[in-house]
Amino acid sequence: MSESEELSRRYPAVRVPAGVLARSTPTDDGFITPDGVRFHRALVVGVVTSKYVDEDREFAVLTITDDTGSVDVFAFEEWFEYASELERWTEVKVVGRPMEPREEGRSVPLRAEVIRPASYHEELLRRLEYELLVSEVSSEEVEAVEEVEEEERVEVSEGPEEAEAEEEITAETEAEATVTEEEEGGEEEAIEAREGEEDLAEVVRKVYERLLEHEEDMFSKQDLYEIIEEVAPDADEEFCERVIKELERRDLIFPIKLPSGKHWSVVVEWGV
């Protein structure tokens, strides 16, 4: 097994937007994005906006761009010829290993392991997957904060004379305890809200995939409700409306007024 194959088995490629990858930071164990997502290998989807080819040393540098920014992709050996022939504005997906910048403050480049054609809706799906990763990282941080606060509460409660402490509880202490309970309730509500946003993002991703599978690209509200309910059987009208608004916000669908009523069209081509 080659070094590249061994690395692929050990570290699956993480979906990372181009501009986010370029702004990542090297660590002792791989790289970390500004959003806190750790990775050793990355998958980037975007458009070739510029290209440099060195025929003598047989390598090419592609600048891959999406709406978050650009990343430089170095193509050597078996991918040199393929990268050299790519035209500007070609949509591609690249799997590769991030490289440490030669100088501090420079962007992180990517060494290509695989370069393949891609499409706009594939980029949208990759972006949704990355946003889910970011949500998972944020949830882990919330759980870590909870554990620290719980340890601090335990340490505070371990006073030297518990019996005397109980007798000396005053109305002020009871009020503070009430405030603490309210704060804990607020934390639980925040966690529930975050988990709800994660569930929403996952449903949006699956609904968009279902929409792309349909032959037609125009849907009524009832059509969207039925697809949402297929993905999330417990969805009520309020949740269906949230999913539709989130699809609109991400530019995955857009509304159109027809004589028969309001419909939505699915974005399946590269936008201007």
Rounded Cα gap, residues 28 and 24, in angstroms: 13
The model's pLDDT over 127-140, given as tens digits with 9 standing for 90+, comes to: 677 877 787 776 66
Q: What is the pLDDT of residue 26?
A: 95
Beta-carbon contacts of 212 under 8 Å, excluding residues fewer than 6 positions away, are 121, 266, 268
Does residue 60 sit within a domain? yes
Higher-scoring residue by pLDDT: 155, 103: 103
Does residue 179 sit within a domain? no
Q: Which CATH number characterizes residue 101's domain?
A: 2.40.50.140
- Percent of the chain exceeding pLDDT 90 equals 42
Domain count, the chain: 2
Among 118, 135, 159, give the residue marking a domain's end.
Answer: 118
Does residue 220 sit within a domain? yes
Rounded Cα gap, residues 162 and 105, in angstroms: 55
Higher-scoring residue by pLDDT: 158, 265: 265
The model's pLDDT over 86-122, given as tens digits with 9 standing for 90+, comes to: 999 999 999 999 999 988 889 999 999 999 998 766 6
Does residue 182 sit within a domain? no
Higher-scoring residue by pLDDT: 121, 211: 211
Q: Residue 263 has which token pair?
A: 């419909």
> Residue 105, by phi and psi: left (phi above 0), alpha (psi -120 to 50) or beta?
left
Q: What is the pLDDT of residue 199?
A: 80
Q: Is pLDDT of 61 > 90?
A: yes
Q: What is the pLDDT of residue 164?
A: 55
Q: Is pLDDT of 5 > 70?
A: no
Rounded to whole angstroms, what are the CA distances from 193 to 8, 75, 188, 202, 244?
Answer: 36, 43, 9, 14, 18
Does residue 171 sit within a domain? no
Does residue 269 sit within a domain? yes
Does residue 163 sit within a domain? no
Does residue 165 sit within a domain? no
| pTM (2 d.p.) | 0.51
Same domain membership, residue 113 and residue 196: no
- Percent of the chain exceeding pLDDT 70 equals 68
Expressed as residue numbers, the domain containing 216 is 191-272
Higher-scoring residue by pLDDT: 32, 123: 32
Among 100, 118, 136, give the residue marking a domain's end.
Answer: 118
Q: Which CATH number characterizes residue 204's domain?
A: 1.10.10.10
Among 118, 147, 174, give the residue marking a domain's end.
Answer: 118
CA 96 to chain CA mean position, Å: 18
